[in-house]
Amino acid sequence: MTDDDDIIKQTTKFLVVGNTLQRKFSYYSREVKMELFRSHCCSIYCNSLWSRYKVATLNCLKVCHNDILKRLLGLPRWCSSSLAFARNGVNNLDVIRRHSVFSLRSRVELSTNSITSVRQSSAYVCGPIQQWWLGLLFVQNENVDFANFWDNFYEDPILVEDSILFGDDGLHLSPVGHARLGRLLNDKVSSYRSKNGERTAVAASP
């Protein structure tokens, strides 16, 4: 199951909304147009849960979102989208998604609900949705990496069936699970340092 269908549906909605705004409000002032844009094009339901999709599908949504603003302001398509968003004080799609993810992640982490307390589990910290959130919220470059140990805890049928890695509640790691997580982290850090050292050595070599 992927999120492509939901993203395509949102793209179609933007196309309809964009055409309607341009047709009915093309002669209104810039301030009115920006308020309409914020109201109809800056609220994307459940976008913070998108994690499985094709890059091309999301790029289509970005292009559509950018074009709506340009057409509403009468700007040519070749002009800078980033500059258009910045000058008019509205958020582009990337900023909207980061705000949504940050809001949802903050509510989950501050929740005292017994179900969402799974966030306290070390395994949850390494889960795919959490990794995707971190990748979207924080700047990524060649010197930053995230460790994903999800498969090491949930994809091994023998360990999952025997509950070796988890406590009685099935959520929090057992001493064996903590030991395994520590070993995996140590291996990941050693691997990262080795690769980073090789890059540094290559860069420093004449």
Burial class (CB in 10 A: 0-12, 13-18, 19+), 169: exposed
Looking at residue 77, its pLDDT comes to 83
Cα 56 to Cα 14, 17, 34, 63, 109, distances in angstroms: 17, 21, 27, 10, 31
Q: What is the CA radius of gyration of the chain?
A: 22
Distance (Å, rounded) from C-alpha 112 to C-alpha 115?
A: 9
List the chain domain ranges. 4-91, 111-204
Looking at residue 123, its pLDDT comes to 44
pLDDT digits (tens, 9 = 90+) for 147-201: 666 666 655 545 445 456 677 766 667 777 777 777 777 777 777 667 665 444 4
pLDDT digits (tens, 9 = 90+) for 82-135: 888 988 889 999 889 988 888 888 887 777 776 666 555 544 555 667 777 777
pTM for this one? 0.62
User: Which residue carries 């949802």 as its tokens?
Assistant: 104
- For residue 12, pLDDT over 60 is answered with yes
